[in-house]
Amino acid sequence: MTAVLREKIRAIHDFPRKGIVFRDITPLLADGKTYRSMVDVFIERYRGQHIDKIVAIESRGYLIGAPLAVALGAGLVIVRKPGKLPAEVDRESYSLEYGTDSLEMHTDAISKGERVIIVDDLLATGGTAEAASRLVARRGATMLEYAFLVELTGLPGRARLGTDKVFAVLDY
């Protein structure tokens, strides 16, 4: 199955800047059968684990997290860039290669003791996922695992997040 998924991920060289190879998942998403197969990989991994919430990171994480939440009967929590959520939020800043950014989550989205998976499309340096996990931890939830479609193994994301808590379907 992973070979089929890999075939649908397009490499865009020098995007968003020179020297970067962007892993574009939009061809995978555009093929309904392959998109379903990708979601099924995550469903099989987490079925029966009593997941309360899927925490999906803006924006491509939503494309994995939403169907996974529905399939597991779990709630979906969205983590967004600042200023996009309408109710009371908790904010977490994190470092980027050239500066900082922040993520926000509604303060009432997760309750103490809930079992949570954090989902995004790609793991690179791990800063975004780590920031999301700090938001989850402040709510008193148990973060079980980080789940990604793609992991860029030449970057420090897995080491930053902890190798025992990272699941990636594909690596490059």
pLDDT at position 99, please? Answer: 77
7 is a domain residue: no
pLDDT value of residue 163: 86
Model pLDDT, residue 96: 74
First to last CA, the chain: 16
Domain count of the fold of the chain: 1
Domain presence at residue 38: no
CATH, residue 142: 3.40.50.2020
Instruction: Looking at 12-86, list the stretches that DSSP marks H as alpha helix, in order from N- to C-terminal side.
Output: 26-30, 32-46, 60-72
pTM: 0.95
pLDDT along the chain (172 residues), means of 10: 94 94 97 98 98 97 98 98 97 84 97 98 96 97 98 95 95 96
Is residue 91 included in any domain, yes or no?
Answer: yes
Tell me the residue range of the domain where 158 lies.
48-171
Answer whether 72's CB lies under 8 Å from 54's CB.
Answer: yes
Q: Tell me whether residue 127 is in a domain.
A: yes
Q: Would you state the pLDDT for residue 48?
A: 97
* pLDDT given for residue 97 in this prediction: 67
Q: Is there a contact between 64 and 70 (Cβ–Cβ < 8 Å)?
A: no
User: Any residues with CB less than 8 A from the CB of 149 and at least 6 apart, and which?
Assistant: 5, 25, 38, 64, 121, 122, 168, 169, 170
